[in-house]
Structure 1
Amino acid sequence: MKPAEHFIDLAKSDFVMRIPSATARRTFLYLLRSGLFSYQPGYRLDRRSFDSFLVMLVLSGSMDLDLPTGHLRAVADQFVLVDCYSRHCYGTDTETDVLWMHFDGITARPYYDLITAKLGNVISLRNPSYARTQLREIHDMATDQGGYSEPEMARHITDLLTEFAVENKPGVTAKRSRTIDDSIAYIADNLDQSLTVSSLAERAYMSEYHFIRIFKKQTGLTPHAYITASRVDVAKFLLVNSNLSLDEIRKQCGFSSISILCNTFKHQVGMTPIQYRRQNGNY
């Protein structure tokens, strides 16, 4: 859908509305609207109330806000969390691109109170990549013509808000490196690809030595050992819950050959993949 407001570049802006089911309203955090807007200088919105909470990610430019908590400004790579049940105003005097969503749900208010009490309404994350990815995934799911699973959507919204909730106040040292968490997520999503310690260290903007040291400190395993254990875990699941051939399983798990799959699996589990399937599966 195209916005009807003034000072929005219609060629670059779009949004979608979603009506949650009764089950979602009772059970989940749920999406109401999602959009990507390109605001032009002079845009202003002044709204007394709108029954939802709003998350914005400023992609470029800046957004000025007038909220019950005060006058604020958000710039590129900052997130904004707004209680739209209260009066809220925002606008910009520069060209500004914003990815946003309106959401609600049974835990929306507690999340809002927890996050804003610690970080305020304008949120700067030490590493915004994970939260940015979650908000983009929410928007992509919302605009998918095939629809989406409401529990899955709730998971992404929860993950986004949790990312805000676990962020420390400025000046407080984080107990866990977000970079390592991002590496773990990347490994999980790319087990079928070639994963080298050097490439992971490069993605984390660390030397290989420093990356290995930090990774082991936080996970108890070296990156190589973690990747191997993850691949074996996925292989175990597929052996028991599918009828895929060993060759198909080794491809999905990132093993370069069946023999390497079998040797690694036996070393980790104490039996061959076929023995494991016979003992635990139905095939």
Structure 2
Amino acid sequence: MNEDKNRIVSHGAFVVRYRAAGAYRFEAHSHPYLTVTSVMSGMLEAEIGSSHLVAAPEESLFTNSFQSHSGNGSDLEFVSVGITAEAVAEAAINAGFTKAGADIAFNNSYSSDRSVAEIARAIAAEVLSEEPGRNAMLDALISQLVIVLLRSHLRVKRSPLIELSRAGPVDRRLRRAMEFMHDNYSRDLGIEEIAQAAYLSEYHFARLFRRVTGVTPHAYLANLRLEQARELLINTGESISDIAGAVGYQSQSHFTKAFKAVTGLTPKSYREGTTRAVEPAEAGKAGLESSNKVSSGE
């Protein structure tokens, strides 16, 4: 049985989660980034969108931005790499895969590509390492992973509907609504108010939002609040009750229940043992080398 172990390295461009657990379960949720989850030992059973998938060692599961997924496993060891849509789009442009205004998504939710698994295993080793130069190694490995994904697993399609916004690359028809949610997630928002921000009726907005993103506006907002809570737990010393209120929860107990359902950990456990991962020679660099953090937790 795997000894329970959790490690996270997170900053603006990517988040890496290493997890070893005798038993592991997470309820349906989504993230605002594209995610590669590679199994190192054990079996991971997952629901991604409408697909039921099982990944064995050296196999990987892919989720798109805001794509709903849930799962469970036992005697499980895996590494999950989440990369922002902006970082993937920038890499695609710089490497000559596309020009600005592209819709980028995974072709499939499952892969047995050994090259992906090998890079993911190297990323896990760096996350667990205390060696000098870890941040630079992670940057290089994740850049390599993105190119492999662009070559073999990501669909890059030019779209006049895609715009860059404060919420990342979004469908221009939903830009105002998504930016409105990002600016006001701490408030009690109803779908009517969000739809008004997009200048759409509640009915047409709800249908369009789900068709474009794959999730309901309510689910998007709930996941946005939890992602903001993760950042506050890692990057600030605010109390858990203050964080709960800051991200729109009316009670700490409700926040704790929602957070644990998605991560498998309470907010307190998630935060415990958090240390900075910035190496002295790298502090202050821009881009992928800025604001690195490490924490124990999922």
Q: TM-score range by the shorter chain?
A: 0.3 to 0.5
Query: TM-score, normalization: structure 1?
Result: 0.41
Whose radius of gyration is greater, 1 or 2?
A: 1
Q: Where is the helix percentage greater, Structure 1 or Structure 2?
A: 1
Query: TM-score, normalization: structure 2?
Result: 0.39
Q: Which has the higher contact order (CA 8 A, sep 6+)?
A: 2
Q: Where is the strand percentage greater, Structure 1 or Structure 2?
A: 2
